[in-house]
Each structure stands twice: as structure tokens, then as C-alpha cells.
Amino acid sequence: MGRLIAAADIGSNTAHLLVAHVTPNGLKRLVNESDWLSLGEVVTRRGTIPPEDRKNLFATLKRFKEILVTYKVEDHYIFATEAMRRADNHDLILREAAEKFQLNIDIISPQREAELSYIAAQVDCPGPDPMLLVEAGGGSVQVAFCQAGVIEREISLPVGTGALTAGSGLTYPSTSAQEDRIRDLLVDALTQLSDFPRPARIVSAGGVARGLWRALHPDGDRTLHTKELEFLTWDCRRLSPETIVSRYDVKVNRARTLLPGSMIFSHILTHFGFDEMTVSQYGVREGAVLEMARKGGDKWLSST
């Protein structure tokens, strides 16, 4: 019959809830809800999650709890990533969430985040090893060197789209000085990858990568090229967010991630000498659901 399992990710751009029906033959999304909270940018600027943003987060958690109750899920896992890791008041927020909504939120490490992304990416991105997995969010970018189902090297870089936006004072249209600042931040961060071995291929995961994929490839082709990312950077720098929304058929908050997101991935591709990457349509939430299913006795899922 399968199992009804949920995972919620309190990320640096969005808070996202997935309720999925899992069987030995696949995973079917029943609920895929998200709220844009921009916690990564907020925490980069202020070091904390202030009252208004806590209010928005709690409204989202209240809605998520109602969905979990409505669907009567068998198991669920709620976790938070870079923005919550860095917020100086995260203990208070987690305690309030438990008291108000009886929701226990786990702040996961960058390594754990990479593990969940890797579980998901193996489902829809088969191919030769070794593989470099790159997962970009609002607060950080996880880079993992993976082979034979194992993460051999992993690092978290503090250059997510929200962090770059806050660190550069990015506006739209952008200025050359702002783009130079983003470039400097990326070049400095990527020095930490200097001793990473070269992989056979690069796979990207996470909301930023999927946003780029949907903007550039409405036909669904999941291979993105460096030249396309460089074009997107050039185009978005000249436009208002409203024009980006219209031109690329994305929501306004996602529109603001296209420029820094395209710069993140084009720099990483260039660093490793690649001109293309494959985008996984799955991420940490799907990875968490699949892991819970496996621990519950279901066999490893190789297709969806």
C-alpha cells in the first residue's frame, strides 16, 4: 500500500513542506507547499531573526502543522538549515515552535544537508562516478564529492543567493560594483575547493538550481550550460524584478535569485573546467522522505 511521509525544510530562502506517498516503486508528491521567508538574507544583514520574521515563520509552521494533521501522515521530519544555524536566537525560535505547535525542528549540519540531497539526486540523476553535487540555497552552497553512494568530501560555502545579495547590496538593475563584489565573494569562497578532485560530472540540486532550470528551460531539459548561465547574469543585471518575472515566467522572489544564482553555478562550473551541469528535480525534502521510507523497511527506491 505504501506509506504517507512528510518532510519540511526551513531553508534560507523558503520554508517548504512535502507530503509524499512512498511505495517500493516510487514517490508521489501529494502536497508541495512553500512560503518565501528570505531568512538567509535577513540573518546575513542582522545576525538574528527579528520579531516580524519570526511571526511570518510561525504562521508558516502553523499552516504546515494543519496539513500534517489533515493528511494523517505516518511519519514526519522537520529540519532547518543555514539561516537557522547562524541566527543567534535559534534556540528561542525552536523552543517556541515546540510549545506553540508541538513541532520539533532539527537544525541539521551542512554535512547532513549534503547527505539528504545526495540520496535524492541519485534517484533522478544516474550517471558515471565520481559526481560533484552542488546544492545552493539562500545562505550557503553545499559542495560534495560523491562516489559509489558515498560522500567522500564535503564543504559548505557561505555564498548563497541571500548572503550574496546582502553582502553586495544588490539592486535591480544592478551596478558593476555590485557584480564585482559578488564575483569577489565567490572567488574568495571557491579557494576552499582548490584541493577537490575533478569529478566526471556535476549535478546541481536545491531551489536555486531548479529556479534557473525553469527560467532557462521551460521545455524541461535538465542540462544547463555555462554560456546560458552567463547570459542570464548579463540579462538580469539590466532588468527590474518585474521585467525578470515577465520574461522568465518566475515569481518575483525567485526572480531576485536568478542573477546571484547564475553567478554561483557558472563560477563553480568554470572552477572545475566544465561547461554543463544536470539539475536534479529533487532535493533535501525528497531525500528525507526516502530515508525515512528506507528506515521503515521499504527497499531502496531507484525510480519515481
How many domains does one find in the chain?
2
What gap in Å lies between CA 31 and CA 10, rounded to an integer? 16
Claim to verify: residue 193 and residue 88 sit in the same structural domain: no
Task: For 25-168, list the strands marked E by DSSP.
Answer: 26-36, 75-80, 105-107, 131-136, 141-147, 150-157
Return the pLDDT at 299: 38
C-alpha cell at 171: 539592486
Residues 132, 229, single domain; the answer is: yes
Confidence of residue 23 (pLDDT cuts 50, 70, 90): confident
CB of 225 closer than 8 Å to CB of 199: no
Model pTM score: 0.90
pLDDT for res 296:
66
Which of 82, 110, 138 is the endpoint of a domain?
Answer: 110
Give SS3 for 154. strand
Domain that holds residue 65: 3-110
State the average pLDDT over residues 93-110.
96
Residues 206 and 85 reside in one and the same domain: no
What pLDDT was estimated at residue 26?
Answer: 76
- CA–CA gap between residue 116 and residue 154 (Å, rounded): 13
- Give me the amino acid identity at 104: N
- Contact between 39 and 83 under an 8 Å Cβ cutoff? The reply is yes
pLDDT more than 90, % of the chain: 92
Helix-strand-coil split of the chain, %, nearest 5: 50, 25, 30
pLDDT at residue number 304: 30
**What letters, b where the CB count within 10 A reaches 16 and e where it falls short, cover 141-172?**
bbbbbbeeeebebbbbbbbbbbbbbbbbebeb
pLDDT band at 294 (very low <50, low <70, confident <90, very high): confident
Same domain, 45 and 80: yes
